[in-house]
Structure 1
Amino acid sequence: MRRRHGIQERHPFKFRRKDSSELWAIVSATPILDAQGEFVGVLRMITDISDTHQESAQRQQAENALRESERRFRAIFDAMFQFIGLLKPDGTVLEANQTALNFGGLQREDVAGRPFWQTRWWSHSSQIQEQLKDAIAAAAAGEFVRYEVEVVGADERVITIDFSLKPVKDETGQVVLLIPEGRDISKQKKTREALRQSESRLKFKNQKLKQVLRQLKQTQAQLIQHEKMISLGQMIAGIAHEINNPISFIYGNITYARDYAFNLFHLIELYAKHYPEPIPEIQDEIEAIDLHFLRSDFPKLLKSMQEGAERIREIILSLRNFSRLDEADQKVVNIHEGINSTLLILQHRLKKTVFSSEIQVIKEYSKLPLIQCYPSQLNQVFMNLLNNAIDALEQKTKHYDNLEFTKTITIRTSVRTHDNHLNSSQVIIRIADNGIGIPKALHKHIFDPFFTTKPVGVGTGLGLSISHSIIVKKHGGQLRYISEPGQGTEFIIELPIHPPLN
């Protein structure tokens, strides 16, 4: 340091103490002047600065370490494979790593100090820019934000990134910094989309396979049941034919037998009139055969034989009506005849021989119009539903050994008219039993082919599936049911009076 009348000098020196420790000091030399300003001597001073020098060295060391740490941080920051940056809470860009800059073909000065949503990465979409503004506002309020978004590179290449905004808070909880991060997930997205499409195709194929399998099962069930019904129909038709011939002979000759008997009785009366005193042998025979009783009872006997023959003829007619093997086309028929014929076929299952008491069949028939249908197929439905009702009553009887109840099957018929127009009306047939009922867990499977609630060896699982197909597909109607476990089941058939032609 220079002065007006001399030079003041300051120099640092290192000294060594007696204990061999080092001492740093400032040695200064200041000229001494007299009153006239002439040089008369030098004032020397030694100032110990060991602590100050040590603090300076430590400070220098800390600064060097900080610079090295910042250099390493920058190297790591720029080398990261994901896009990362630093934002102010208002969205102003402070930093962006080299990966993000290189993708956008940008320099730091291109983005620093600008709003994040106005940088080149997002310039392709105003919608994305507005989305970014909302995300920044949410992050500035302390919320972690994450979603997928598309960014544009320097070569106009668009990629999808997994974008997130993380708020950084100070010790008071105030958001002071936002860290945006993006990971390129374009390949993962394509893989995910390809997997989704593959799964969708596989699901579609599975559905088609299930549909084909279901159709095959239904076809198989229909073929089995069709063959079964053909065999049953052929047997019934054969029996009816074989019975019809002799019963016609018997029925036709009863009239002659009655006439012959009346003639013989008349002859006996004439003989008794003209020969009132028969010989003892004839008198003994008259008493032995009780001629008086025979004359009064024989007409009754012939009448009962005639009624029996008529009943057999009715049964034969019902058997033929049930089989209807020659009726492959739709015909106009009386529904009640089909139900009654089916009940006749099942009469042996309704009798007391099967149960401790007979099953009461309650018929509540309304007046129905003739309906256009496939008669043999409808009879098949009635057979299936009535058989199921009998089985349900049998299961309930076995399940509740000590339960005494009146076993009933109720058949109701009615007409539902739409807009007072008969052609658009429906015939409703309800067949209800008070049997075991259907468990609720099984309701959705009731119409599946080969599904049965009956014990092994009792049910095939075909009846309801085929019945549903006949009513719905062949006749354009509906088949549904109401069931309560332990209370019974009611099946409801809805048939259009004039179904669509198949």
Structure 2
Amino acid sequence: MQRFGRDLWGRRPVADVMNAEPLVLSLDSNLEQAAKQVTAGLQYPITEDFILVDGDGLYRGLGTVLDLLKAMELRIAQRNRVLRQALVDLKESQAQLVQSEKMASLGHMVAGVAHELNTPLGYVRNNVQLLDQLSAPLVELARSQAALADCLADPACDEARLAQAFEAAAAMREQAAPEQLADDLRQLLDDTLYGLGQIGELVVGLKDFARLDRAMDEAVELN
């Protein structure tokens, strides 16, 4: 039909083929207003034209719905890019916020752990100091007994030296009183082992928490 369009319509008055009520858009209309007006007044397929007029109503040009749709498509694509970037920025902000909250929580947790560690560490530190004090006489007793043993094994050790070694060993044994220290040493060792056990439990709990936190992060990344 297009090949014969001129023959069929060329000699007929324009009024017979033109749209008696064409779409009229003002040049002052923005893209959204133009799209809304065209959509509301569209009567024919999207190949329909519309007239552009200025503020005085004078004809300034001709547009097509397809051109308007392309312009709207570009506008939508541009807004989608803006929205995608906004979404990326939002996710980054959320990630930073989560990280900040995690660091704040971690700071509180570390403070709590430090407080919990101080108690068993206090046990261990005090007990070690007491063990050092209590073991000092035992060390001196061992030395005096070793000197006595050396004198007994030495043929050149005379009676005076031997008597002096016996007296020194006896004095140190009385001062050290190993029979009385046995219960104290056992109690100190038990308290020390208990404190070390508490520290070990805290370390295990921290390791389990670290594994759980890492597993949650991996699950979030997968989702």
Which category of TM-score, normalised to the shorter sequence, fits these structures?
0.3 to 0.5
Larger radius of gyration: 1
Greater per-residue strand proportion:
1
Instruction: Report the TM-score when normalising by structure 1.
Output: 0.22
Greater share of helix residues, 1 or 2?
Answer: 2
TM-score computed with the length of structure 2 as normaliser: 0.41
Could you say which structure has the greater relative contact order, defined with CA pairs below 8 angstroms and 6 or more residues apart?
2
